[in-house]
Amino acid sequence: MQHIPKVDLQDFLSGDATKKQAFIAALGDAFQEIGFVALRGHLLSEELQTDLYAAIKAFFELPLDVKKQYEIEGIGGQRGYTSFGKEHAKGRTTGDLKEFWHFGQYVTDDPKLEAQYPKNVLVEELPAFNAFGKKTYQLLEQTAAHVLQALALFLHLDEHYFDPHIHNGNSILRPIHYPPITQEPKDAVRAAAHGDINLITLLMGAQGGGLQVLNQQGDWIDAVAAPDEVIINVGDMLSRHTNNTLKSTIHRVVNPPRESWGKSRYSIPFFMHPISSMPLNCLPNCVREDQPKAFEDITAGAFLEERLLELGLKKA
């Protein structure tokens, strides 16, 4: 496969059984083959995306000493600001050429769970940043829920199988700034080759180039979305839960050509996580004689802890 398949969420939501089934089949096939799709028909308006990018750019243009006030120690970078070069890919020690922010879950109906999550950090200088971030988080979460409903049907599960696991899940919206490159990077790229931790990732901002996906033939292919599309990929949690039926594909963000080093790049992934108690045990209908169980049983919370340690965001 040399390109990212395209699907339209409105086919799934249309009420037309034929369109719905075609969407389920196309989505499932893509996630089995390459683990990525470009999705149009999502729930974000063009106006909201424009407003969000303007607010994010304004935040990352703040002086470093102001941004550092929002870097919270002891929570593994799960909320607020993470400074340039702090995160690295699993198996590497060189930091990625990026800085980022985390918006987390907005729990409304579970005080016990709300107390367990770190609180969202409010940027006093930019009220619009917080408002647009919250609205985007909630609309991408709804979009992701529909995608998981389609995948549940593809896997011959109840359509709403994932719903209780993702309600109030530990999901993250991550605005990322890749600053201009000012000198020859030493063994560093904007985001080194990696797989995502979570169930699925929805990425705004794949129009700018740089995102590449490793296909099953071992070739790196460009993953470029149209302005009205978001890129969606399978994460390690979903791959593990489906016993590798759905593929968590390795991807990276490469440095631009030298003539473009002076330009910033922005992207905004939404990492859909379940609640920490969700078992990631391999689904029985994904275990067969020709596809034996590949993973030990583990909860989503324990798996996340393991990966945060590997990424350098938490200390043992």
Domains in the chain, start-ordered, CATH in brackets?
Answer: 6-310 (2.60.120.330)
Whole-number average pLDDT of the chain:
87
Q: Would you state the structure tokens that stand for residue 177, as one six-digit string?
A: 């700034």
What are the tens digits of pLDDT across the range 179-203?
876 666 665 555 667 878 999 999 9
What are the tens digits of pLDDT across the range 115-125?
999 999 999 99
* 254: Cβ contacts below 8 Å, ≥ 6 apart: 189, 190, 210, 212
Q: Would you state the structure tokens that stand for residue 197, as one six-digit string?
A: 């931790």
What are the tens digits of pLDDT across the range 205-263?
655 567 888 877 888 888 878 888 999 999 999 999 999 999 898 888 776 666 666 67
- Asked if residues 102 and 173 have their Cβ atoms less than 8 Å apart, the reply is yes
Distance CA 210, CA 265 (A): 9
Report CA-CA distances (Å) from 94 to 185, 202, 311: 11, 26, 11
Distance CA 59, CA 89 (A): 25
- Asked if residues 66 and 183 have their Cβ atoms less than 8 Å apart, the reply is no
What are the tens digits of pLDDT across the range 84-109?
766 544 554 455 678 999 999 999 89
Q: Which residues of 47-66 are buried (b: 16+ CB within 10 A; e: fewer)?
A: eebebbbebbeebbebeeee
Strands 230-234 and 36-40, bridge-based pairing: antiparallel
Distance CA 276, CA 113 (A): 10
Q: Residue 56 pLDDT more than 70?
A: yes
Distance CA 307, CA 316 (A): 11
| pTM of the model as a whole | 0.88
